[in-house]
Amino acid sequence: MSRKQTWEQDHTLTPEKLSLARHVLAEVRRGKPVMDALRRHPLPRGGYLGKFALVAAYNEMVASGELGEDARLLARIRMKPVRTLSGVTTVTVLTKPYPCPGKCIFCPTDVRMPKSYLPDEPGAMRGLEHNFDPYMQVRSRIEALEAVGHPTDKIELLILGGTWSSYRRDYQEWFVKRCLDALNVHQAGLQSFLTLESRRQESSDSGELTEAQAVNETAPHRNVGLVIETRPDEITPDELAWLRYLGVTKVQMGAQSLDDRILEMNKRGHDVAATRRATALLRAAGFKIVLHWMPNLHGATPDSDREDFARLWEGFCPDEIKIYPNQLLANAELYEYWQRGEFTPYTTQELIELIADIKPAIPRYCRVNRVIRDIPSTNVVEGNRRTSLRQDVHEELRRRGTRCQCVRCREVRGKPVSPDTLRLDDLTYAADSAEEHFISFVTPDDKIAGFIRLSLPAADSPQTGLSDLDGAALIREVHVYGQSLSVGEEKEGAAQHSGLGTRLIEEAEKVARKAGFGRLAVISAIGTRQYYLERGFERGERYLVEPL
């Protein structure tokens, strides 16, 4: 039996497990390595305790007064701390199956799932398990995160599932409202709350979004980012206003390719001009922009993909990207092309070499969120089946003696930060209809401790119809890195609580004022409104604004 298989998988807590966990904690508190302590206290029927039991025992001891809160101890026993090292905790929810306006030949179809998703993808499985109920998806995920020691007071909601903009707007409003309801629940008395909720489900599903948003400003789980995914041809000024009403701060779009010939061959249903218009409109409205890019589409080659990737930085300039290599799936139309010999998937090695070629050229203002879809290998007919492609690419980069300089590769994460040693860097670049400033605090070893995205609209910036933005420079994102901490909690050397956010805002004010702007607007998430209000901003209709 492998070591991985010997760890406790059943998360049921028993008095026996809690007692054992207490003994392990006692050794860890005396300085014993966590894994060594776990192995010294095996389960009676074989195997070892999972870390969830240590976290449960820690919480019980703190609640009873046997143990004072110990952030260092909790950090040592927490499972997968990398999940919250970027400063926030992400919770993914899936919308119900619904027709998509796209007819893309590479997209899988499963009647049980929203378009492009498969029922055995990890995040999608949770959606299916809870019948796509937004409330239960959020609650179950929060409880699972808390069970393994992750802070959950700062939540980024990632709403996935086909094309968000194609869903009925009453469904969208209900879906977001129910997500917020789940965030607004205090953990204490949860069961009684769930019973009450089941009785008032029908009445609470009606239009009370603004009330739920107001509650969330000071809720136990604050929404610090709301992300949806849609298509470039769905972005209009009217859609921008609607997204802001919902509280959306970040938009993911499937660009897939920046070659009209490739888009047409794959029946994408929009052209490159639509992607350009959409990114310019989103930028003008202050949204953070995530573009999906797909190598190995029908008609592409590794060489044409290298040329195509370079076009991303010619005016589009996304803040984040997801690299999703096309994967051949039996329930996609592309499968028929493959059967006829018209399509050939890249090999794993071809993909590794392609991505290793392009990754070092990614600008320092962009974050690479993914380099592969998390599709189980059993669904892939031919071609790459490795979901660890990111690690493979980084190993190839190390072999070549080069590295990627994207935001994700340079995040300070859990390392201690000394504010006195940080360097302020203002990376200025031109995007379509805007001058962008990526202002960051950088450590001596070139790691990012925090950054702000400031957009200065040009004279030809598209009209959004949003009055809050008239004559305003735009703060599109403020992010300070380090292990996500509870609101008000401090940690020695943690970037999140050393005033970097305030200093970044002050620097943005200087840059905007020098450029001649009389106002500064910020696309605040619901749960960060109080943060900006405390720093001199005022409530507008859809944004927080500050006169300069």
| Helix/strand/coil percent split, the chain, to 5 | 40, 15, 40
Would you say how long the chain is, in residues?
Answer: 548
Pick the CATH number of 419-547 from 3.40.630.30, 3.40.47.10, 3.40.50.720, 3.20.20.70: 3.40.630.30
Which of 293, 320, 297, 327 minimizes the C-alpha distance to 309? 293
Q: At 511, which amino acid appears?
A: V
Give the Å distances, CA to CA, from 502 to 309, 488, 515.
35, 15, 20
DSSP labels, 7-47: B-------HHHHHHHHHHHHHHHTT--HHHHHHHS--TTSS
How many Å apart are CA 108 and CA 118, to the nearest integer? 7
Q: Are 217 and 146 in contact (CB under 8 A)?
A: no
Return the bridge partners of 428, or none: 437
pLDDT at 83: 45
Give the CA angle between residues 394, 399, 402 to the nearest 5°: 70
CA quadruple 128, 134, 135, 141: dihedral sign: positive
Sign of CA dihedral 502, 506, 511, 517: positive
Name residue, tokens 């050397």.
Answer: 493
- pTM of the predicted model as reported, rounded to 2 decimal places: 0.85
From the list 238, 233, 224, the residue with the least C-alpha distance to 288 is 224
Question: What is the sign of the dihedral through the CA atoms of 169, 171, 174 and 176?
Answer: negative
Using DSSP, state whether 263 is helix, strand or coil.
helix
Please state which of the four CATH numbers 3.30.750.200, 2.60.40.1930, 3.30.470.20, 3.90.550.10 is assigned to the domain occupying 231-410.
Answer: 3.30.750.200
- What average pLDDT values come out for the chain (548 residues) when binned by 10 residues? 45 75 84 84 80 78 81 71 62 94 92 89 86 96 83 93 94 97 74 43 58 95 97 97 98 98 98 98 98 98 98 98 96 96 97 98 97 90 92 96 96 84 97 97 95 97 96 96 49 56 97 97 97 96 97
Amino acid 203: pLDDT: 36
What span, in angstroms and rounded, lies between the C-alpha atoms of 470 and 328? 47
Alpha-carbon radius of gyration of the chain: 24
C-beta separation of 348 from 386 below 8 A: yes
Can 231-410 and 419-547 be said to share one CATH topology? Answer: no
Residue type present at position 162: G
- Residue 7, strand partner residues: 48
How far is Cα 544 from Cα 520, in angstroms, rounded to an integer? 8
Q: What residues have CB less than 8 Å from 416, skipping those under 6 apart? A: 492, 493, 494
CA distances from 501 to 319, 449, 452, 505 (A): 19, 10, 8, 6
pLDDT of residue 79: 56
Residue type, 115: K
The one-letter amino acid at 370: R
Please give, one letter per residue, the 3-state secondary structure of 109-173: CCCCCCCCCCCCCHHHHHHHHCCCCHHHHHHHHHHHHHHCCCCCCEEEEEEECCCHHHCCHHHHH
Strand stretches in 148-238, DSSP E: 154-160, 222-230
Contact by Cβ (8 Å): 209, 173: yes
Question: What is the per-residue pLDDT for 12?
Answer: 63
Tell me the domain boundaries of the chain.
Answer: 4-80, 89-229, 231-410, 419-547
